[in-house]
Structure 1
């Protein structure tokens, strides 16, 4: 059986996989949603959802520092990886010994394709297609901002790093009706205090991951952007592209409602 991953590579399986390792937190949660409790044997130390798996499943290292010897001991017949979250050198090495299905998600449409692809390669297409339908219905119900609000989304401190225009986070900001002031830059650019101050940002979102922004960081950034509204947000909602997308629209609606009040829309 031959499947195609999101790098357009063929992934050959001799039988439905019974020993799966996931190297991506959001895709680990997806495997759980697809009902693969018995088949998943290994996850990373960042795969915190579901909590039962985090406590019970074998951890094979981090997303960027996997332990090949642990993976070998688990004898996987399928590994699920991601182009951005995992190191290319690690994934290439694993491909020499195991079937590896690699995702590449930069948009909501890519996420739908990823869910369908993971569903196919794990023989859970019916559940995957049902999940995609549910997510689409949820996103179609979003009542977005009538007038785009110039916004920035920070993922790191020292140096400041923001989500650029070719990221999944950028796509989620657009779905809310937010205009990414760093949307013309790629990936996660480093931003100076001066660039931030002159960006035109009216709404600054501080993510809970990968850097754990807290209330104490708001004052530091308010000094740079005295007129902007600064809010802490759940990074999983903006950057996890698996079954967490089912919860994201409700969360986004709360962000949108807060923006309407702040910027007197509606």
Structure 2
């Protein structure tokens, strides 16, 4: 019988908002220029054998670039494919939908990890993620007890930390030049977006990550809030921390000028939101400024995140991008 490590149904929303996207903030870990320089310095060399330290401070020694890789979160998968590791990737999760080639890989679980399958794939390294540690700690322990190397990727809180993550994975897989190219392209796109919105009049924005009755929004400390700040948007939910549940009455009182919807599981959600009781008084509803963005590009800490920033900016300031 196969052994599964299960994530309970009650944790599904947390997995969707945090693990799949890697967005939950970590207290007492502010990013700054010095920290970013230190982290970047850790990925300057890409020679084997090497010892790398993961987000938990655990040292992992690699004798050579890994020939078999398993990824346990979509953001890692996107980075690994972006590095050109198509052949080396042997296993991904059920949630991995980009690039299309990910669908061809063996699936190792979604709300539950197939521990025996992961072990059977004989990966040289398994890439997990810090944001899902509360849910995957037991699974990682089982994999490590079976002799597998599990590298826990840092839960990046901003673009600089995302760049460092990409470079770190490039270093660990012998693809540092490819990683540096990805980062350079991302930086160019970010600079292009920021130059277009630098003189805009800030708009009040609410981000919805789920539908009523349990509406979740991005508060202070989330990557989404950092992105809103980058493009000079005012997050009306910044008085709360992390991703938190917000009442319809609170949304009405905050009166956002734009409502950004990051989910697609509710059909016709853009026509349903204006019909909520009392929402006809909200400026976003009055001005038909309820927009839907791609939940993957605007949340996954990988190569497409710069495109996600542009999509978010276009959604909030369409007049600037005409």
| Residue among 57, 72, 75 paired with 1:23 | 72
Q: Residue by residue, what CA displacement relative to the aligned partner does 1:88-137 show, whole Å, maximum 9, x if unpaired?
A: 42334434432222221121111111111111111111100111111111
Contact 1:206 1:213 in 2 (8 A): no
Q: TM-score, normalised by structure 2?
A: 0.74
**Following TM superposition, by how much is the alpha carbon of 1:209 offset from its aligned partner in structure 2, in angstroms?**
5.5
Q: Number of aligned pairs?
A: 260
| Residue among 66, 81, 105 paired with 1:57 | 105
**Secondary structure of 1:102 counterpart:** strand
Which aligned runs of 4 or more in structure 1 are off by greater than 6 angstroms?
210-213
CA distance in 2 between partners of 1:211 and 1:18 (Å): 40
Q: Residue by residue, what CA displacement relative to the aligned partner does 1:173-203 show, whole Å, maximum 9, x if unpaired?
A: 2222211111232221110111111124221
Distance 1:219 1:118, change over 3 A: same
CA distance in 1 between partners of 2:218 and 2:250 (Å): 14
CA distance in 2 between partners of 1:191 and 1:246 (Å): 28
Correspondence for 1:202 = 257
Correspondence for 1:11 = 60
Correspondence for 1:100 = 150
Correspondence for 2:94 = 45
Correspondence for 2:171 = 120
Q: Residue by residue, what CA displacement relative to the aligned partner does 1:137-159 show, whole Å, maximum 9, x if unpaired?
A: 11011111522211111111231
Contact 2:217 2:243 in 1 (8 A): yes
**Secondary structure of 2:297 counterpart:** helix
CA distance in 1 between partners of 2:234 and 2:316 (Å): 13
Contact 1:176 1:256 in 2 (8 A): no
Q: CA RMSD in A?
A: 2.4
Q: TM-score, normalised by structure 1?
A: 0.88
Unmatched 5+ residue regions in structure 1? none
Correspondence for 1:74 = 121
Distance 1:201 1:32, change over 3 A: same
CA distance in 1 between partners of 2:113 and 2:61 (Å): 23
Distance 1:106 1:176, change over 3 A: same
Deviates more, 1:23-32 or 1:78-87: 78-87
- Pair 1:185-2:267 in alignment: no
Distance 1:260 1:129, change over 3 A: closer
CA distance in 2 between partners of 1:109 and 1:46 (Å): 25
| Residue among 189, 201, 205 paired with 1:147 | 201
Correspondence for 1:84 = 131
CA distance in 1 between partners of 2:106 and 2:307 (Å): 27
